[in-house]
Amino acid sequence: MSEHLQQTLSYLSSEINRIQTIAGTLSTVETEHHKELTNLSDDSKLLQIASEEQSASRQLGEIKNICLALSQKIEDLQSNLP
């Protein structure tokens, strides 16, 4: 049973790390889009889009932080398994 649990935790850890990487990459892209849109335009529609990009970047950053916390919990579980 503990071998199956260990494999499951390893799989979960791997997938969480993948989500974390994707969220970090997308957050960086959204931040760059926000900067570019803000610097290039006085158009209110584009500034609204820039604001939405900034919000998306923050949310993706939160997903990354959640993944980091989950990964740590999984590591703790794995280290306490027999």
Task: Quote the domain boundaries for residue 46.
Answer: 2-80
* Calpha distance 32→39 (Å, rounded): 11
pTM of the model as a whole = 0.83
Higher pLDDT: 74 or 41? It is 74
What is the CB neighbour count within 10 angstroms for residue 23? 19
Residue 26 DSSP symbol: H
> Could you give the number of structural domains in the chain?
1
Does the pLDDT at position 1 exceed 60? no
Distances (CA, A) of 13 to 38, 53, 57, 80: 37, 28, 23, 15
What pLDDT was estimated at residue 14? 96
pLDDT in tens, 3-28: 899 999 999 999 999 999 999 999 99
Per residue in 33-54, pLDDT (tens digit) is 999 989 887 888 888 999 999 9
